[in-house]
Chains A and B, each alone.
Chain A
């Protein structure tokens, strides 16, 4: 009898213990799930908070200057007259130069890495290009200021000025004197910085081309150039554009490298050899020295404009890359 009672009470105790353990597990399960969910939402909140803080910070500038903030070139801290046009222009033109230079080279490297390179070298060269993406932007800045800009000033700019001296339009674009630092130099430094990003995306999308397509084309007697032009690039066009937009997003927002070599001049010059400024360089150079609410607010308003532009560009890039991912998955 006592034995049976023991078994009973043991079973009851076990059931109680079991319930306790299960309850504890259920609680920790719920807590863990809640933590992951709130962290995930935190990412959304972060973006919202960034937008909100910039709107709040830049409100005074937009209220004071209205829409003319976007269309005024004047940037005068003494008279407290601020307009974003010169900075927006500088941002767009340096990024445009960067993309013009970087995109063909990136596609070239990506073709090399996926079609031409001996297998043994693919990984090391791919990693070397990726390391270029890892170099911090301040390094590009200091290198650009002390090595690249003097080189450009001494060898490239005088040549450009002399070559286009008598060509209409172009002689305005390449008007001297050769400062070394300026729009063109910034664009070229930016090109080096976005190069690895665009290359990485292009290489990845080129690898999604089904080998069968390429083999069929080679089997028909096509040359490498024809296979790349007529099979690889058309198949991956959306992805390439996505990669280019991704690089463009980087170039638009890049700060330190440009700050070193742009010259920080708030004016729009017809010559791409002249110093200029970009949104990010203006903020980096002037924010800690800004005196007065309206000056600070104008700089934050610049930040809002920059964030908005890059947001649109990056969103488009992601949408395009998502399209090619779907295609590769299907």
Chain B
């Protein structure tokens, strides 16, 4: 059979074009990340100084920092993670250990996956209806509750996945030694899956620390230093939102600095989480 060289060349050219497009797509993805980070560094570093960490958010036209916003973010993220993590870990444990093959578990798994990508602004509305409206005012409690609702599905997912990786022989061996199931889970399975579970919590922290939408109408904002959890509290994302959309240049500069801080924190957390899980899998 004669070789159809023209056709062969056409196929090669078309393939080369496809391959080139794939390279271009990847270059584009990396460029977007690069441009975003470069803009953040360029605009954010301009306003970065010790004042950012020592002074309160200013009224327009005067000097100030982001101290109350940073503190508020830390407090609410911490509270949200402290509330959400145990529930998430316990639910993930049920899915992986007690009810691995039950019907209910597959329903819960399905619902959890939906909650995982559900719009976070809806969480804000939910907590508004649940806490803010009955209490009659915005509060840091409500903000933390909204963040906890976002933490739970993330932790459920990673906990379950990590527990499923634990070899069954470990469980069987410890059961054969007479350990009751709860101790098998707590002393054996948790130990074996620890790195992965910590990764999950880190990823959850990374996710909620940048969330703005659920805080807008739960914790609202606060121009001043406040440690009262029952009162509105400032947070970095909400301050960025308010300041970036303001017409004042010094507010916009602070917004960029805040954006740089948040991105640095979030990316550091997710890189740490990845590093932790990869060092674990290589063992």
The residues of A with any CB-CB pair to B shorter than 8 Å are 25-26, 28-29, 31-33, 35-44, 46-47, 49-50, 53-54, 56-57, 104-106, 108-109, 111-113, 115-117, 125, 127-132, 134-143, 145-147, 192, 195-196, 199, 223-226, 228, 246, 249-250, 252-256, 259-260, 280, 283-284, 287-288, 299-300, 303, 306-307, 310-311, 314-315, 318
Provide a sorted-by-A list of 6 A–B residue pairs whose CB atoms are within 8 angstroms. Answer: A35-B90, A38-B90, A47-B115, A129-B30, A136-B210, A195-B29
Residue of B nearest to A129 (CB): B29
Main DSSP-derived SS at the A contact region: helix
> When chains A and B are docked, how far (Å) is the Cα of A113 from the Cα of B25?
11
Check if A284 sits within 8 Å of B185, measured CB to CB.
no
Encode contact with A along B90-132: 1 for CB under 8 Å, 0 otherwise. Answer: 1101110111000011011011111101111111011011100
Residue of B nearest to A312 (CB): B114
Check if B259 sits within 8 Å of A36, measured CB to CB.
no
Given contacts A39-B88, A311-B118, 9 further A-B contacts (CB under 8 A): A29-B182, A36-B90, A37-B99, A40-B94, A50-B126, A138-B210, A139-B40, A142-B240, A225-B19
Residue of B nearest to A252 (CB): B119
Q: Known interface pairs A33-B181, A53-B130, A224-B19. Does A135 touch B36 (Cβ–Cβ under 8 Å)?
A: yes
Residue from A199, A250, A287, A306 in contact with B216 in the complex, judged by beta carbons closer than 8 Å: A287
Residue from B26, B220, B244 in contact with A108 in the complex, judged by beta carbons closer than 8 Å: B26
Residue from B87, B125, B256 in contact with A283 in the complex, judged by beta carbons closer than 8 Å: B125
Check if B121 sits within 8 Å of A255, measured CB to CB.
yes
Contacts of A280 in B (CB 8 A): 119, 121, 213
Check if A33 sits within 8 Å of B182, measured CB to CB.
yes
- B180 interface contact, C-beta 8 A: yes
Q: Known interface pairs A143-B36, A300-B125. Does A225 touch B217 (Cβ–Cβ under 8 Å)?
A: no
- B24 interface contact, C-beta 8 A: yes
Contacts of B86 in A (CB 8 A): 39
Encode contact with A along B118-150: 1 for CB under 8 Å, 0 otherwise. Answer: 111111011011100000000000000000010
- B196 interface contact, C-beta 8 A: no
Residue from B25, B40, B43, B123 in contact with A112 in the complex, judged by beta carbons closer than 8 Å: B25
> When chains A and B are docked, how far (Å) is the Cα of A116 from the Cα of B112?
35
Most buried by A among B15, B181, B183: B15
**Contact residues on B (Cβ < 8 Å of other chain), bracket:** 35 or more
A-B residue pairs, 9 tightest by C-beta:
A136-B210, A253-B119, A108-B25, A223-B15, A39-B90, A32-B182, A36-B94, A225-B15, A39-B91
Check if B183 sits within 8 Å of A105, measured CB to CB.
no
Binds A, one of B50-58, B60-68, B261-269: B261-269
The residues of B with any CB-CB pair to A shorter than 8 Å are 11-12, 14-15, 17-19, 21-26, 28-30, 32-33, 35-36, 39-40, 43, 86-88, 90-91, 93-95, 97-99, 104-105, 107-108, 110-115, 117-123, 125-126, 128-130, 149, 152-153, 156, 180-183, 185-186, 206-207, 209-213, 216-217, 220, 237, 240-241, 244-245, 252, 255-256, 259, 262-263, 266-267, 270-271, 274
> When chains A and B are docked, how far (Å) is the Cα of A40 from the Cα of B100?
12
Residue of B nearest to A133 (CB): B270
Residue from A127, A135, A283, A288 in contact with B274 in the complex, judged by beta carbons closer than 8 Å: A127
Check if B122 sits within 8 Å of A253, measured CB to CB.
yes
Contacts of B185 in A (CB 8 A): 32
> When chains A and B are docked, how far (Å) is the Cα of A137 from the Cα of B263?
10
Q: Known interface pairs A32-B185, A54-B122, A54-B125. Does A26 touch B180 (Cβ–Cβ under 8 Å)?
A: yes
Contacts of A136 in B (CB 8 A): 209-212, 237, 262-263, 266
Residue from B26, B35, B111, B130 in contact with A43 in the complex, judged by beta carbons closer than 8 Å: B111
Contacts of B32 in A (CB 8 A): 132, 192, 195
Check if A318 sits within 8 Å of B110, measured CB to CB.
yes
> When chains A and B are docked, how far (Å) is the Cα of A137 from the Cα of B179?
47
Contacts of A108 in B (CB 8 A): 21-22, 24-26
